[in-house]
């Protein structure tokens, strides 16, 4: 399906950097979060890290110690529920300060993604794009690719290319196996810049609903990334492997062919995962081993 038939907004509009400037008082922010407000009703117009914020900035703190809050120049700080708040500081109490900081940003400046296909992107006539997708500059969405609704495809991504599949002849030549399967990306998934997701030899290569891939992640032919999983920069998932739902994959992880990683697992930075990983397990190292106190 041509991209222009599948996306409601004009072709050529694409993700853009959000403007962090806004105007809100501490009371306004408390209303957005349904949070308890402490201190003066300070007005803020920007955001910054806790240690670099000025009097017109909103920041957040995850520390149980009140000293970093006292030392910060931030006008308003989103803080843990039980932390002591220095006298005279404007603060919003939150059970999860970083989450609520992000909620405020999304309320005031949006998520930075405007649906559409960038003019330099290539979308095959045989691809299918759901509603409100974003396809970034120089991305390639090939034949046999199906994107759900609100999928973000970052700059330079390549979806639907042939997988790395060859057979060796009797004359010791390599013959490429035709890949006639598909790539399916679920609703609300996001692929960072320069990700590659290969077409399956048959069946599907799948990135499930809500999964988030950072830049330069490779998902090989026939692999599956579970719903709401996060896969960090430079990780690779080999053919036929499965990464479970809500699993956290840290940077530069390699998951070997036909390995199954269960739901809610965590793969530490640089881990070489050569064997199956149970649900909920934490592994690190090469070869990867469990570090959560359980037997492998």
Digit-coded pLDDT (tens) for 95-139: 999 999 999 888 887 776 789 999 999 999 999 999 999 999 999
DSSP state of 114: -
Residues that are catalytic: 221
User: Beta strand 230-231 with 212-213: parallel, antiparallel or unpaired?
Assistant: parallel
CATH 3.40.1390.10-classified regions of the chain = 24-109
pTM tops 0.85, yes or no: no
143 contacts: CB under 8 Å, gap ≥ 6: 124, 125, 126, 127, 160
Q: Which is the CATH superfamily of the domain at 24-109? A: MurE/MurF, N-terminal domain (3.40.1390.10)
Evaluate whether 136 touches 117 at the Cβ level (below 8 Å): no
pLDDT of residue 180: 76
List the CATH code of the domain at 116-290: 2.160.10.10
Please provide the average confidence, as pLDDT, over all residues in the chain: 89
- Token pair listed for 281: 């397990």
Tell me where in the chain the CATH 2.160.10.10 domain(s) lie: 116-290
pLDDT-based confidence at residue 201 (cuts at 50, 70, 90): confident
Reported as a pLDDT band with limits 50, 70 and 90, residue 21 is low
Question: Which whole number is the average pLDDT over 71-99?
Answer: 93
Q: Are 188 and 226 in contact (CB under 8 A)?
A: no
- Provide φ and ψ at 98, rounded to 5°: -65, -45
Q: What share of the chain in percent tops pLDDT 90?
A: 74
**Residue 82, beta-bridge partner list:** none
Would you state the pLDDT for residue 295?
58
């Amino acid at each position: 399906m041509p991209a222009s038939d599948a996306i409601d907004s004009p072709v050529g509009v694409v993700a853009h950097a959000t403007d962090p400037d806004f105007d809100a008082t501490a009371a306004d922010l408390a209303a957005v979060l349904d949070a308890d407000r402490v201190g003066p009703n300070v007005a803020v117009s920007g955001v910054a890290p806790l240690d670099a914020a000025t009097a017109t900035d909103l920041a957040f703190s995850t520390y149980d110690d009140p000293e970093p809050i006292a030392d910060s120049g931030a006008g308003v700080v989103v803080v843990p529920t039980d932390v002591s708040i220095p006298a005279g500081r404007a603060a919003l109490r939150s059970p999860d300060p970083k989450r609520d900081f992000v909620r405020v940003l999304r309320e005031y400046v949006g998520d930075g993604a405007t649906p559409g296909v960038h003019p330099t992107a290539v979308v095959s006539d045989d691809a299918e794009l759901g509603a409100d997708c974003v396809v970034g500059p120089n991305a390639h969405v090939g034949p046999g690719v199906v994107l759900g609704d609100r999928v973000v495809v970052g700059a330079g991504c390549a979806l639907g290319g042939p997988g790395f599949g060859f057979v060796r002849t009797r004359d010791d030549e390599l013959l490429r196996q035709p890949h006639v399967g598909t790539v399916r990306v679920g609703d609300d998934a996001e692929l960072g810049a320069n990700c590659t997701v290969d077409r399956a030899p048959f069946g599907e290569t799948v990135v499930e609903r809500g999964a988030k891939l950072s830049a330069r992640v490779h998902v090989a032919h026939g692999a599956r990334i579970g719903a709401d999983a996060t896969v960090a920069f430079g990780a690779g998932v080999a053919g036929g492997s499965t990464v479970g739902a809500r699993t956290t994959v840290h940077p530069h992880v390699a998951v070997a062919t036909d390995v199954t990683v269960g739901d809610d697992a965590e793969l530490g930075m640089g881990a070489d995962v050569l064997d199956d990983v149970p649900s909920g397990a934490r592994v690190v190292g090469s070869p990867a081993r469990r570090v959560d106190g359980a037997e492998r």
